[in-house]
């Protein structure tokens, strides 16, 4: 095993998520024509810290990545979806992280919402005895 692969195993999936996120943040910032100084000021953080985020520094906090993504109008799926896989002890296919993940995010939200609606409906639906169903006026 090489030193690089040992380091990546030691850092775990979070490092890869932060690297991917940092790249997306940097690309989006440049696309919007913002300097690091301008974006950092808008976000209330130092330029040095924004550089750390964009470089994928493992010490950067995920909430800072999310804050940057929200400001730049990025999908947060590149952060949250891999974490769902890792939480389930599943390998994340990084090919899924390519491109805009908004549609995949929407599908996840719809599945969660549908599941909750079904559970709420079941919980709130009375179980009538003896076939009695009150008439709706």
Q: Is the pLDDT score of 10 beyond 50? A: no
pLDDT of residue 3: 35
Q: Report the distance separating Cα 34 and Cα 18, nearest Å.
A: 21
**What CATH number was assigned to the domain covering residues 3-124?**
1.10.260.40
Percent above pLDDT 70 for the chain: 85
Q: Is the C-alpha dihedral spanning 15, 20, 24, 30 positive or negative? A: positive
Dump pLDDT digits (tens) for 58-104: 999 999 999 999 999 998 988 998 998 999 999 888 888 787 888 88
Q: Domain coordinates of the chain in residue numbers?
A: 3-124
* Average pLDDT value over all residues in the chain: 85
């Amino acid at each position: 095993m090489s030193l690089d692969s040992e380091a990546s195993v030691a850092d775990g999936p979070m490092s890869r998520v932060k690297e991917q996120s940092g790249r997306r943040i940097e690309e989006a910032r440049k696309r919007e024509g913002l300097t690091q100084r301008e974006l950092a000021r808008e976000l209330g953080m130092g330029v040095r810290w924004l550089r750390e985020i964009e470089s994928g520094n493992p010490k950067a906090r995920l909430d800072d990545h999310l804050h940057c993504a929200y400001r730049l109008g990025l999908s947060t799926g590149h952060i949250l979806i891999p974490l769902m896989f890792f939480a389930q002890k599943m390998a994340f296919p990084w090919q899924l992280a390519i491109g805009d993940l908004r549609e995949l995010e929407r599908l996840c939200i719809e599945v969660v919402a549908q599941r909750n609606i079904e559970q709420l409906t079941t919980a709130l639906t009375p179980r009538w005895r003896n076939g009695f169903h009150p008439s709706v006026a």
